[in-house]
Chain A
Amino acid sequence: MLDSFFDFESLDWATIILILIVFVVLGALFTAGQILRRQPESNFDKAIIRTFNRRVGAWLTICVMLVVALCLSKVVTVVFFGVLSFWALREFITMTPTRRADHRTLFWVFFVFTPMQYVLVGLDWYNFYTILIPVYVSLFIPARIAFTGDHKRFLERSAKIQFGVLICVYALSHAPALLYLDLVKYNQSTGVWEPWSGKPTGLLFFFIVMVQVSDTLHFVWDRLFGRYVIAAAINPTKTWEGLIGTVCSTAVVGMLIQLLLPDVTPFTWYGAGFMAVLISVMASSGSMTMSAIKRDRGIKDYGTLVTGHAGVLDRIDSVCFAAPIFFHVTRFCLAEPTVVRDPDGIVAQFLNFLLT
């Protein structure tokens, strides 16, 4: 009974060590933040320390919940991300003005399509969950609104709801989908593709950690070396130096993790570096995009939207953008049937060329 509920098999040593490292680092940051906050006359800006503490606290919470979910089972992890999606979508739609006529459409989106997407991920029905929202839902939304007869700002309203579902639900659902990938690993000594012996849990955790590292480093680089602001009207703190520094340093961290813990992902060490670059670029794009939306609506954080709410979307916007890209690149390179089934195919040859 207990065995079927607790899925300790999903963790291997590499993953456990990575989790421990993350908790030690986050714990240290958390303690440092608390000490700085208590300092009566510190040289740091109070607002920066507060932002920093909030971020660390949020990440600590998310990591604890994620680890608990991963220990329990895949299904619990999928449900956990489903709840995150639901909450993020809630914040997104609350911020976005819709009209009275959109009510029924929103009901469908919240109570039918969001759960459905995660059920399909949980069933590992790849062919369906990749197209559910881009095809069926994105056509359903404008049609359902049209049937209500309210044509005012029609295109704008449909686009808002479509975008919300795409980012908060569709994109994020690719993170737990990583757990269902059957991956292969290139054996460099024998030169053949072999089934990867590690656990996908490690891959998901690696992904989350890289997003987190990228977010944190962005914050640090911007504060320490930032000079040329990318787009002051959208986010006055994000700079080009910050972006470049983040991408490079995240790549280094990714490579280091892979070199220290070779079983945590199926990538080679340079593959992990490349994936880290990809994650970092997408994470930064994600927070820039969400900043643009927030500026347009004239608010700073989703958390301040309604007093007392945590602002889930503020924390996971970078995860949302990075998840589908990370998922698809991983799947294409290391789970793509053409590679596995057809070792002489063009993709396999290209990867061989890259890897050997």
Chain B
Amino acid sequence: MKQITVPFLANLAKILSGATVRWVDCEPDICQRVYFANHTSHLDALVLWASLPKQLRNLTRPVAAADYWQAGPVRRYMASVFNALLIDRTKIKVHNSPIDMMIREIRDKYSLIVFPEGGRNPTGELRDFKSGLYYLGKKRPDLELVPVYFDNLNRVMPKGEFLPVPLLSSISIGSPIWLEAGEGKNEFLTRARQAVLNLKQ
């Protein structure tokens, strides 16, 4: 069943969003990556996932909020279909750190799609990043951190709407960054945020 629904949903999302993919100084690769992007629409993860080459799709898991994606059978089904890694936003504690969970789950195989703004942003402007990306980079320095910018997807399906409007959009995937030695948390998060903004043009 998944073999049919997943490509169907992904391609439907791709057609509806008219998305073109630009790889800017970056190539598709099976090495472990964390794609971090601006979050404006439900379609974000879906469309990025659909635009990856086939062999990468099964290796890439979106990170999503458990409180949202476990509410209702449709959302639960969608989350399971895309093998989403659900994080409980309400119970973040030191001994139950979502970063540890992500690292446990991805082993040395999977890549992640994360939205460091922490939620969809209705205005379309890029908010400040939460610190998860920094800790991911610190605990797993081998992960490539790849900035991704979604353009116009918030118009295709804005927050609070369930029906898409088929406008044209684009996804830009930039060159990977890493946490530099001795780089501070805020410094790094600003740099990461800037890497996403640089793809805007």
Contacts and interface: CB of A to CB of B under 8 A. Distances in A.
Contact of B18 (A98, A104, A309): A309
B169 interface: yes
Contact of A107 (B18, B151, B152, B165): B165
A315 to B, nearest CB: 16
Nearest to B123: A100
Contact of B152 (A106, A306, A307, A308): A306
B13 to A, nearest CB: 15
Interface string A77-105: 00000000010001101100010100110
Contacts of A94: 18, 152, 155, 167-168
A307 B18 CA distance: 11
B22 A307 contact: yes
Given A90-B18, A100-B122, A100-B158, A307 B170 contact: yes
A306 B167 CA distance: 11
A59 interface: no
Contact of B168 (A91, A103, A110): A91
B4 interface: no
A305 interface: yes
Contact of B163 (A86, A98, A107): A107
Where chain A touches its partner, the secondary structure class is helix
Given A100-B122, A103-B158, A306 B165 contact: no
Size bracket, chain A contacts: 10 to 19
Given A103-B161, A306-B18, A309-B18, A90 B155 contact: no
Given A100-B158, A306-B152, A106 B165 contact: yes
B20 A309 contact: yes
B25 to A, nearest CB: 15
Chain B residues touching A, range:
10 to 19
Given A90-B18, A100-B122, A306 B169 contact: yes
Nearest to B18: A90
A307 B20 contact: yes
Contacts of A93: 165, 167
A110 B167 CA distance: 10
A9 to B, nearest CB: 34
Contacts of A103: 155, 158, 161, 165
A110 B158 contact: no
By secondary structure, the B interface counts as loop
Contacts of B151: 306
A306 B22 CA distance: 10
B155 A305 contact: no
Interface string B162-174: 0111111110000
Contact of B170 (A91, A106, A107, A306): A306
A236 B169 CA distance: 29
A277 to B, nearest CB: 36
A168 to B, nearest CB: 13
Residue of B158, B163, B166 with most partner-chain A CB within 10 A: B166
Contacts of B166: 86, 90, 110
A309 B151 CA distance: 14
Contacts of A100: 122, 158
B151 to A, nearest CB: 8
A110 B163 CA distance: 11
B92 to A, nearest CB: 30
Contacts of B20: 306-309
A307 to B, nearest CB: 6
A305 B165 contact: no
A315 B22 CA distance: 24
A93 B18 CA distance: 13
Contacts of A98: 155
Interface in B3-61: 18, 20, 22
Nearest to B19: A306
A110 B165 contact: yes
Nearest to B122: A100
Nearest to B165: A106
Contacts of A90: 18, 166-168
Nearest to A96: B167
Contacts of A104: 161, 163
Contacts of B161: 103-104
Interface in B105-126: 122
Pairs of residues from A and B, 6 with the lowest C-beta to C-beta distance, nearest first: A308-B20, A106-B165, A94-B168, A306-B168, A94-B167, A306-B170
Interface of B: 18, 20, 22, 122, 151-152, 155, 158, 161, 163-170
Given A91-B168, A93-B167, A103-B155, 11 more contacts: A86-B166, A90-B18, A90-B166, A90-B168, A93-B165, A106-B165, A110-B166, A305-B168, A306-B18, A306-B169, A306-B170
6 contacts: A90-B168, A100-B122, A306-B18, A306-B168, A308-B22, A309-B20
Interface of A: 86, 90-91, 93-94, 98, 100, 103-104, 106-107, 110, 305-309
